[in-house]
Amino acid sequence: MGNKQSIFTAQQLDAYQVVKCFCRLSRLFYRYRDLAPQLVPLDYTKQPDVKLPYELIGSMPELKDNPFRQRIAEVFSEDGEGNMSLDDFLDMFSVLSEMAPRDLKAYYAFKIYDFNNDDFICKSDLEKTLNKLTRSELTEDEVKMVCEKVMDEADLDNDGRLSLEDFQHMIVRAPDFLSTFHIRI
Amino acid sequence: MPRKGAVQADDVSVDIDDEQSDSDDGTTKRRANRRQAGGGRGGGGGAKGRGRGKKAESDEEEEEDEAPKGRRGAQNKRPAKKRGGKKDDDDDDSEEEAPKNKRGGAANKRKGGKGRGGDDEDSPAEKGGKGRKGGKKGGKEEEDSKGKKGDGKGKDEKNKKKKKKDDSSSDSNSNSDEEEDSMSEGEMARLMEEVEEKKKLIANIRNKPWRMKRRLVLLREAQQFVDKFEGALGKGKGRKWYAYKVMMTKKWIKFQRDFENFRTACIPWERKIKEVESHFGSSVASYFIFLRWMYGMNLVLFGLTFGLVVMPEVLMGLPYGSIPRKTVPRAEQDTAQDYAVLMDFNGYCKYSVLFYGYYNDQRTIGLLKFRLPLAYLMVGIGTFGYSLMLVIRTMAKNADVGGGDGDEGEFTFAWKMFTSWDYLIGNAETADNKYASITTSFKESIVDEQENQKDENIHLRRFLRVLANFLITCSLGGSGYLIYFVVKRSQDFATRDDLSWYEKNELELIMSLLGLVCPPLFETIAELEDYHPRIALKWQLGRIFALFLGNLYTFLFALFDEVNTKLEEEQSIKNASIWAMKEYYANFSRLVNDSESTPPPMNPADVIRGPCWETAVGIEFVKLTVSDIQVTYLTILIGDFARAVIVRFLNYCWCWDLEAGFPSYGEFDISGNVLGLVFNQGMIWMGAFYAPGLVGINVLRLLSSMYYQCWAVMATNVPHERVFKASKSNNFYMGLLLLVLFLSLLPVVYTIMSLPPSFDCGPFSGKEKMFDVIMETIDLDLPAFMGTLFSYAANPGLIIPAVLLMVLAIYYLNSVSEAYQNSNMELKKKMQMARDEEKNRRNNTDSTNQVMKDLEDLLPNRSLAPPAPPEPEKPPEPEGKPTKTRGGAAGKGVDLQKDVSLASSNPNAREPVTRAPGARGRGQPPGGRGRGGPPPR
């Protein structure tokens, strides 16, 4: 705890604590730094502009087996390509932490599953999700059918795609969403 | 308030506007926002203005608003106008600009503060201005009331001024004092509101889906704002107090946050659990989380028992050997230190603080006059009370978090799609399993969907299921009888001395073995039934639960038999000892000729003493717990570890593949482990009253269990092939725990309330019932009227109505919740109907005639646009009104429908019956086609 002071100023620390969803700031910082010790300075009081490339982020043990790791990195990174600054990194793990509220999680889950960033989950997004989940082991027909069923179930306004409301409506009722959509770090 | 806030935000300062809009721009409003502005975070302001301010104002309107405001500003002060103009120019605020403007305004206002009339007399037309005028005249209250009367505009005005003033107060300290003095109360209230809003923003900022950087910026601004203006608030006498209050709140919040952080940091085994989680998924981890929760609860129970019962007795009570109940009897002293005896919790163990019998019945002990018997009873009851409360609260919280009303089947595929990946998985092997299981589950669902029910040989299956249940019932009954038999036999053994090790520990062994053998047996039998794995898991859990429960209760009943015989035995011993005492006194007084009664000079070890059934019961429970621990650990060691070692190393020289073939590695048995934990806890609850040390043993057990099982699962087990999700069963486990808690409460309460305690051991010795301790306390320690109060409260005439009242309340609440549920269902049904109808409509569009098509084009339009748009079309074609315009007024709709139904022979002919009346009216062919014209845009 003592050396935290040298990384962040007290004010920064304070601000992070208010903003973030949980408190293991120093731990997260060291995780971030361990990804590329040569790139990340130990002194963050001057807010250096450092970004880690996606290759490093995606190779974290927490993420490397996740089929959606690229999407996660893209959604949370500011440039949309998976290159993350410390802020983005903190952002990511605060959303994925246990203490983040459900709505926040649902919002980001929606973003993650929205592959083409058009703010709607359309059929192609669903197909991508499904293929990632099953490693493309389902046949063409099966994929199509499952996607249709999902649309059928969750699309409340029948516009052929899932909006955020549709998604939230569906996801907040899911019994497993909160327990599975988090990463302990 | 919302309206005010919105207006003010537009008016006052740019950065406020930005922030406020963002603060409201929660996830729910996103969609509207996106529709309008095409996504991106920037467009938040407009959407929010509409959503929150309920005045349907879009970006353009907002900009239009700027102009009048600017003018208004011009009436009063120049700088304000300048600012308004500027704001029109660059709506994308630059943060440096806004403060500058404000400062300008502030300077102006300062002038106004000194000589108010100069500026304000220009604006008598505005009500807010009037208010200010009143303020100048001196009556602050008057000003306030008038200000309140002022409508939105007036408030805008005021608000603006106030803002500036506030800025000024913070900008230049020299002026600030008089500035604040002249601040009206209305302004204060507004400012306070604003500060409150900022504070709310700070509190909620972590729940907003913004980027970290943005959040940090916003937070800094909000905090600066709060810091600036909080001090400005409060005036005159109340000011210091207010400042103090603010400071204390700040400190308190900081403390809370630190404490929260501290608490999170104190949660143990986070990393261990994470490790398990990443290897085995959330289901196995849920067991460890449950274990951790249990450990926490037991720590509290341990603290209660040791802090209030054990430590006082050890520190302040009489030392060992001073009185008979604290001394090993002469007959046992030779063997009292033998290892075997100690392991049976006899000898020195039996006469130690671990058990009930050791405690003395002195009313108060030590210098502190600690009432130990009372504390003992209270801790016994408090253990149950605390556990009940905790379990119920956790259940309620779980139910709250779990989303609750998840209807199975409504979102089968969607849930599978979006929630089946476990983000915790961080291990390649587990990930492989997970992929496979997801694929299978999708395939299963597809097959299910394709052929909903395939019943090949339903008779055979039914027969098999009945057979399986019969077998299981048989084995349950058998195990129950076996336990009863063994307990009976052990009572016989108790009178003999020449016992082998097996005969001594028969009962515990048999119970542990049953718990070991029966679950796999059940599982094998359940194969016959061929249920879906999830249902099968439930059945399995239910059966194991029944087995454990049956065993526990058989054990209890047998124990009570034993207790009853002990009670009889005790009665005779008591009589004998009383007789001996009398004899002694008679002899003593005869010999010494002295009526003074001095106790006989006897070594406490030699005193005749009763069997002390409480300690006996406590010993049984402790032995049971210990043997349970041993069996569990040994099972893990042999069943998992040895198996893993054999499979791993013998695989090199074996004729078939051990890893893939028969023995393979064990899987972690979640349900069995959880049930074991639950029942262990049940035994603790039951036994803790008779053996206070049991809680300590249990804490140790849970602690070691955590490390041991974590190691075992990581070292020897393989991930489940079909990874079950456990989150939903979380409350299931809790429910089991609650049931066990209740069931273990019963016998303890029974003994407390109705069995006579032993006459020569334990804190309640010498009393008729253990419960009498409370009566005694009421009589002796509390004032007299309390005693009468209690006696009234204990009156059946009061208790029965109270019980009735409670039953009525339960009935009422129940029916209310039922009503809510019904209306919920109704609404759900309605939604479903609306959806279906919409779907039908879309699908059938092509099949209906042209008119219908035209008309249906109107429908979505109408639903999206506000009621206003159709209006302009009315005047040109008045006769088209009946069919086309739907003002939204219900009365009109009914009339129209009547009209139409007169005009056409069968209005419903081409319509789905489910359509709402309004829509039906519109769908009429006669008017719609010709005069309907293009849909109003």
pLDDT in tens, B808-862: 999 999 999 999 999 988 998 888 788 778 777 766 655 445 555 555 555 555 4
3-class secondary-structure state, position A64? coil
- At residue B303, the pLDDT reads 94
- Are the beta carbons of A146 and B413 separated by less than 8 Å? yes
Closest residue in chain B to residue A88, using alpha carbons only: B212
Q: Which of A16, A18, A167 to mutate to test the interface with B (most CBs of B within 10 A)?
A: A18
Question: Is B423 part of the contact surface with chain A (CB cutoff 8 Å)?
Answer: yes
- A11-96 maps to CATH 1.10.3720.10: no
Equal CATH topology for A11-96 and A102-181: yes
A107 in contact with chain B, both atoms CB, cutoff 8 A: yes
Does residue A141 sit at the B interface (CB-CB below 8 Å)?
no
- Please tell me which of the candidates B207, B427, B835 has its beta carbon nearest to residue A101: B207
A133–B208 CB contact, under 8 Å: no
Do the chains contact at A65 and B273, CB–CB below 8 Å?
no
How far is CA B269 from each of CA A183, B290, B680, B730, rounded to the nearest angstrom?
15, 12, 21, 19
Cβ neighbours of B547 (radius 10 Å): 23
Per-residue model confidence as pLDDT tens digits over B722-764 = 545 544 556 777 888 898 899 889 888 888 888 888 888 888 8
Over range B246-268, report the average pLDDT: 82
Is the pTM of the predicted complex or chain greater than 0.90? no
In tens, the pLDDT along B431-445 reads: 877 787 788 777 777
Q: Which residues of B touch A170 (CB under 8 A)?
A: 411, 414-415, 418
- Whether residue B895 is predicted with pLDDT greater than 80 in this model: the reply is no
CA–centroid distance for B911 within its chain: 48
Instruction: Say whether pLDDT at B801 is over 70.
Output: yes
Contact between chains at A23 and B431 (C-beta distance less than 8 A): no
Given CB atoms, is A127 within the 8 Å cutoff of chain B? no
pLDDT, residue B584, reads 74
Query: H-type helices in B182-211, by residue range?
Result: 185-204
Kindly report the nearest CA distance between residue B266 and chain A, in angstroms: 12
Q: Residue B329 pLDDT more than 70? A: yes
Segments making up each domain of chain A, as ranges:
11-96, 102-181
Dump pLDDT digits (tens) for B275-298: 787 777 777 888 888 899 999 999
Rounded CA gap, B252 and B173, in Å?
A: 28
Instruction: Specify the pLDDT at position B407.
Output: 52
Q: What is the pLDDT of residues A142-153, one digit of tens each?
A: 888 888 888 887
**pLDDT number for residue B804:** 94
Cβ pair B312, B358 in contact under 8 A: no
ipTM: 0.85
Q: Is the pLDDT score of B32 beyond 50? A: no
Question: Is A15 in Cβ contact with B449 (below 8 Å)?
Answer: no
Q: Is the pLDDT of residue B563 over 80?
A: yes
Whether residues B27 and A104 touch (CB distance < 8 A) is answered with yes
A27 touches chain B (CB under 8 A): no
At B820 the pLDDT is 92
**Residues of B whose CB is below 8 A from A154:** 411, 414
Any CB–CB contact under 8 A between B419 and chain A?
yes
CB of B28 less than 8 A from some CB of A = yes
pLDDT at B7: 40
Contacts from B166-171 at CB under 8 Å and sequence distance 24+?
B166/B106, B166/B191, B166/B228, B166/B229, B166/B232, B167/B99, B167/B102, B167/B103, B167/B105, B167/B106, B168/B103, B168/B106, B168/B107, B168/B109, B168/B110, B169/B232, B170/B228, B170/B229, B170/B231, B170/B232, B171/B103, B171/B106
Alpha-carbon span B628 to B622, nearest angstrom: 10
C-alpha distance from B728 to closest chain A C-alpha (Å): 6
Q: What is the pLDDT of residues A106-125, one digit of tens each?
A: 888 888 888 888 888 888 88
Contact (CB, 8 A) for B359 and B770? no
Mean pLDDT of B523-532: 78
Confidence of residue A7 (pLDDT cuts 50, 70, 90): low
User: How high is the pLDDT of residue B409?
Assistant: 57
In chain A, what residues touch B435 (CB-CB under 8 Å)? 67, 133-135, 137
Range B199-218 average pLDDT: 71
Superfamily of domain A102-181 in CATH is EF-hand (1.10.238.10)
Report the b/e string of B294-312 with b at 16+ CB within 10 A. Answer: bbebbeebbebbbebbbeb
Contacts of B838 in chain A (CB under 8 A): 157-158
Identify all chain A residues contacting B39, using CB atoms and an 8 Å cutoff: 118-119
Task: Please write the tens of the pLDDT for every residue from B127-163.
Answer: 444 434 433 444 444 444 444 444 444 444 444 444 4
**CB-CB neighbors (< 8 A) of B257 in chain A:** 17-18
**Interchain CB contact of B417 with A (< 8 Å):** yes
Q: Considering all CA atoms of chain B, what is the largest pairwise distance in Å, rounded to the nearest integer?
A: 131
Residue B68's SS3 state is: helix
Supply the DSSP symbol for A52.
Answer: B
